[in-house]
Amino acid sequence: MNKTSRYLLSAVVIVIGAVGAGRYLHSHRGTTPVTSSTTSVAASPVCIATDFVASFNSGQGAAGNILASASLTKTSVGSCRLSGWPLLSLSNSAGVSIPTTTVQGSQVFQNFFSLSVPSTPAHLLVAQNRVVTFEILYNDVPGLAACPVASSLGISVASSGVMLGSTAVNALTPCDHHLNVSPFFLEP
């Protein structure tokens, strides 16, 4: 092998080595994995009762229909994930359960909910101090029997039965024992 061939071969080996080292450094030095919001939502723990403080927001209505809402303020550190519909339970002032059916916002009731309320559930990533809300529509026109009077509202996630909170209510009176609800949504 002559001198020119050796220099050429050495140059080729150096170039191949440099390219290989460059690829190694490019793929291994201080890279930060890219995560999407979907990955972040899926990686976060599911919200539980101790994450929130619940409150009932008295409503107003007409023609026997009352539109109210309930809010869950996240007080725990970090983020958790929540999706779906609330499942509600009512109790009277003596702590006795009031039979109630939670109806997930049917088309009949969509026109009562505000325009900013979603009609289908979303996957929510709830950070500390954020507020999750849902709207409640019920009928307070008495029939043949007296309307039940609730003083406590229990809030669970319908899909999992996980309890999220309980709050005092000021005389919630669903005369037909039905509470129509919107899905959970984040306050802006």
Residues 10 and 57 in one domain: no
pLDDT at position 19 is 34
Domain count, the chain: 2
pLDDT at position 171 is 81
pLDDT at 53 over 90: yes
pLDDT at position 105 is 78
Of 148, 139, 130, 106, nearest to 185 by C-alpha is 130
pLDDT at 113 over 80: no
Model pLDDT for residues 150-187, shown as the tens digit of each residue: 999 999 987 777 889 899 998 889 999 999 899 999 98
Residues 70 and 23 in one domain: no
For position 61, which CATH number holds?
2.60.40
The confidence band for 40, taking pLDDT boundaries of 50, 70 and 90, is: low
Residues 22 and 105 in one domain: no
The answer to the question of residue 180 being in a domain is yes
Q: Domain range spanning residue 147?
A: 42-186
pLDDT at 72 over 90: yes
The answer to the question of residue 141 being in a domain is yes
Check if the beta carbon of residue 138 is closer than 8 Å to that of residue 179.
yes
